[in-house]
Amino acid sequence: MTTKDQSGIDLMESGKLHALRQLILGLDQQDQDRLHLLLRDPHAFADEISELLPYAVRRLVEKGEITVDSLMPIIEDSMHKSVQKNPGKLVDILFPVMGPAIRKAVSEDIKRLIASINTSIETGLSFKSLKWRIQALLSKRSYTEILLANTYLYHVSHVFLIHRQSGILLHQEAANDSQQLESNMISAMITAIRDFVSDSFHNREDTSLDTIQVGLMNIFIEQGPHAIIAAIVEGNPPADFRLTMTEAIEAIHFNMAPEIEKFDGDTAIFIHSSKFLRTCLIRERKQRKARPPLAFIGLLILLFILISWVGYGYITNRRQIRALQEQVNNTPGYHLSSVKKKAGKYWFIGLQDPDATPFNEIVASSTIDSNKVKGEFEAYLSLEPEILVRKALNRLQPPPTVFLKTQGTVLEVTGAANQDWVEKLWANIFKITGISELDDSKLRVNHTEEPDLDWIIPEIEQKSFEFDINITEIDSLQFNAFQDLVQAALLLEQYNRTHHTLLRIIVYSYTSHDGNVEANLRVALRRAEHFATLLYQAGLKEELLEAHVKFVEEGQSPSLIRSVQFKVIDKNKE
Amino acid sequence: MLKKKVTMLGAFAVGKTSLVQQFVHSIFSERYQTTIGVRIDQKNLHIKDTDITLMLWDLYGQDDFMKVKASYLLGSSAYILVVDGTRHDTIATAHDLHQLAIDTLGKLPFVMLINKADLEESWEISSNDIQQLRDKGYKIFITSAKEGTNVEAAFYWLTEQMIAQ
Ligand SMILES: Nc1nc2c(ncn2[C@@H]2O[C@H](COP(=O)(O)OP(=O)(O)OP(=O)(O)O)[C@@H](O)[C@H]2O)c(=O)[nH]1
Ligand SMILES: [Mg+2]
């Protein structure tokens, strides 16, 4: 009892004491407990300060007592030290934040890269589907039907040969019905993706990329030491397709390794990889359904009857007529205004120059039945160069050593002729309608009847035609010199005839031992043959022509290389 | 047909992507979308009677955490070092990358672009700095991908160097 009372008093007293303390200090029990804890427990104290400190610092900065700039070195320094001591720590801290972001960004980027390949491929291929749609429309079959009929079990549409280091497209082959792709971009992207992947997987060889999925297509990649092959494949190719690709890339390396290694941007040579790449262009058509539905057969028969009734003859006729129409339009001296069908015949109506090739000759040279076409032309004067020259030829009857050309309404006469003909020329020239001027400044007049060897031979032997690398045919700039050559050559032939001599022209095509000798020879030979053919076409007898390739030897002028020159040799004196 | 790989090198956000976009598509965007890995673009040019296709490899910008990997440079015929005129320290990065290019590719034609010429107010590179670079034999163009200043000139100059090689 007593005890109870005692404690009762105590309690009462401490209650009073509290009240008293609160009065004096202004702190309640909770506040005191907290203070107590801070004094005794340093951890708790630190926690408390850490909440206040940032606020305090902000206040200090606001008041201008310290600046961010003055804090920065301290923070940077401590970060730096921390990273130096244990970089893992910082990575651990940052990773949860950065990791997902980086991963997301990386996969986004690969996705974007692939997406851009995808669009490059798809825009190219969409034309095909359009074609199928049109086919479907025309043949009244459903689009899906056409699509299925055109679908392959597998189908390699494009094969690229790509320079391994630079990602540059060296050569590509495409299946016949495939569309143009942005091949340069696709090649570079494939290479970049490959780099990126091998990079992200720490360059482990076994993770090197061998297929990239792009939409419904796969890009198969086969690596060689210097080049890679990439094939764009729809569907599942047979298992040995990989082997085909491996063999192709091996064959290419075997045959062209130096060219690939030396590659510096010029892709022309890689046309030679074509036959190897083509081996990869394989496909297999899906089996058609064994028994097409009856309705479909019915439709087909109906269609067939319809087509054979009006169609076939009509279509082939139309095509032939259109071809003839084009031919007539392209013939100098014609101006076609319309083609009409009258009483089962096609009437070609328009204008025709009297000197143009006769209409029935044009018809005869075409594939069309000449009974089916008729011409109805009114005469007109054509000013086309071919017609003007033909008029001049008809009226002037020049000797074979004279050449005629028109330049607008100016007639250029070059070559050589005797005085008689020159007089005839001047007497008749302006009777030719359409010609207003004569340029005979390059016409040589022979005063003797005899062709003159002292003039002819140097004229031939001083000619030299120089060519750029790999060019084998003369260009328009060389054409004038070539005409002079022809003219001299024809005079030589005339001389042979009158003197019963056998003066021959030897064509020498020069090349060198530098580089690929075999290729040099081939090109030089082609040049030599080109000249022999041109001279033959200009009217020179074949037996008077001979073509040779010569190597430029040391001591000879290097400017001879890639030139074609001529020598006149007397066969009888050989 | 001539095809050449040209690589864009420089610190992050100096404007490599913007320069390529300006040159190839004549577009510019203020938005910064950092390049991860590489972007590829193609430009066909006709210079000095030569048809040439540039395959432009626009690499991610180098920073302290992401060094540019040599493997991306392989096969380049030329490269472009890009510096941000408003950030002096991007010159040092360009120097590092120049060294990397020499180590990986040997001596090749290159050009240095000091970009963002339109931001005069925050320009940090003095004419003295530029003179020092020129003294080292660098060909320098002051460009703005935003306004298109000198962009074409720089790419054409570099292409001519490649053709002359
Ligand atoms: N005013 C101005 N801004 C530019 C210029 N060039 C680029 N920028 C801006 O600078 C920022 C970075 O440009 P990017 O072209 O993405 O730079 P980058 O070098 O490709 O960057 P990374 O791919 O991250 O290495 C973008 O916000 C651009 O709009 C310029 O000539 N003038
Ligand atoms: Mg970029």
- Is the per-residue pLDDT at A5 higher than 50? no
Q: What is the pLDDT of residue A4?
A: 44
Higher model confidence: residue A350 or residue B130?
Answer: B130
| CB-count exposure of residue A6 (10 Å: 0-12, 13-18, 19+) | exposed
Residue A281 has pLDDT above 80, yes or no: yes
Written in H, E and C, the secondary structure of A84-119 is HHCHHHHHHHHHHHHHHHHHHHHHHHHHHHHHHHHH
A237 close to A156: Cβ distance less than 8 angstroms: yes
Q: Is residue B88 over pLDDT 90?
A: yes
Q: Which residue has 């495409």 as its token pair?
A: A174
**Chain B: nearest CA to A178, how far in angstroms?**
22
Q: Which residues of B touch A169 (CB under 8 A)?
A: 3
Lowest mean pLDDT among A80-94, A272-286, A450-464: A80-94
Would the pLDDT of B60 be above 70? Answer: yes
Residues of A in contact with B165 (CB under 8 A): 264
Q: Does A267 reach chain B within 8 Å, measured CB to CB? A: yes
Q: What is the pLDDT of residue A323?
A: 82
The confidence score (pLDDT) of residue A115 equals: 62
Judged by CB atoms closer than 8 Å, whether chains meet at B40 and A185 is answered as yes
Range of the domain at B141: 2-164
Tell me the ligand closest to B18's alpha carbon. Answer: 1
The residue assigned the tokens 């997301």 is A104
Q: Which of A53-57, A297-301, A428-432, A554-558 has the lowest mean pLDDT?
A: A297-301
CA B98 to each of CA A362, B81, B91, B137, B152: distance values in angstroms, whole numbers, following the listed order: 69, 7, 10, 13, 22
What's the number of domains chain B is made of?
A: 1
Residue of B nearest to A109 (CA): B36
Residue of A228, A249, A229, A244 lying closest to A282 (CA atoms): A244
Residues with CB under 5 A from ligand 2 (ion): B 16-17, 35
pLDDT of residue A203: 45
pLDDT at A7: 47
DSSP 3-state assignment of B91?
helix
Which strands, in side-by-side order, build the sheet including A464-466? A464-466, A563-570, A503-511, A545-551
Cα B15 to middle of ligand 2, angstroms: 7
Angle (CA) B84 B88 B91, round 5°: 70
| Average pLDDT of span A24-52 | 75
Mean residue pLDDT of chain A comes to 76
Q: Which of B36, B38, B77 has the CB atom closest to A265's CB atom?
A: B77
By alpha-carbon position, which residue is closest to atom 12 of ligand 1? Answer: B13
Q: Point out the residue among B40, B52, B165 whose CB comes nearest to the CB of A188.
A: B40
Mean pLDDT of A168-187: 84
CB atoms within 10 A of CB A355: 20
How does residue B140 score in pLDDT terms, banded at 50, 70 and 90?
very high
CA terminus-to-terminus distance, chain A: 161
| C-alpha of A488 from chain center | 44
* Higher per-residue pLDDT: A119 or A549: A549
pTM listed for this prediction: 0.48
Question: How many Å lie between the alpha carbon of B132 and the closest alpha carbon of chain A?
Answer: 30
What ipTM, to 2 d.p.?
Answer: 0.82
Which of A105, A192, A267 has the CB atom closest to B1's CB atom?
A267
What percent of chain A is modeled with pLDDT above 70?
72
Average per-residue pLDDT for chain B: 92
pLDDT at A149: 44
Top mean-pLDDT range of A67-81, A103-117, B40-54, B79-93 = B79-93
CA of B14, closest atom in ligand 1: 19
* Separation CA A480–CA A463 (nearest Å): 11
> Amino acid identity of A384?
E
Integer angstrom CA distances of residue A509 from A197, A534, A547: 54, 14, 8
Query: At A142, is the pLDDT very low, low, confident or very high (cuts 50, 70, 90)?
Result: very low
Q: Which atom of ligand 1 is nearest to the CA of B18?
A: 15
Q: Which residue has the higher pLDDT, A196 or A171?
A: A171
What's the pLDDT at A110?
61
- CATH number of the domain where residue B112 is located: 3.40.50.300
Q: Out of B8, B9, B32, give the residue to mutate to test ligand 1, the one with the largest number of ligand atoms within 8 Å of its CB.
A: B32
Q: Which long-range contacts (CB under 8 A, 24 or more apart) does A200-204 make?
A: A200/A106
* CB-closest option in A105, A167, A264 to B77: A264
The pLDDT assigned to B128 comes to 94
Structural domains of chain A sorted by starting position, each given as residue range(s) with its CATH number in brackets = 14-85 (no CATH), 126-198+207-285 (3.30.450.70), 302-379 (3.30.300.30), 386-573 (3.30.1330.60)
How confident is the model at residue A1, as a pLDDT?
A: 41
What's the gap between Cα A60 and its chain centre? 67
Locate the ligand 1 atom nearest the alpha carbon of residue B82 and give its number. Answer: 19
More confident residue, A447 or A498: A498
- Higher-pLDDT residue of A23 and A547 is A547
Whether A215 shows a pLDDT value over 70: the answer reads no
d(CA A231, CA A174): 10
CB A337 within 8 A of CB A349: yes
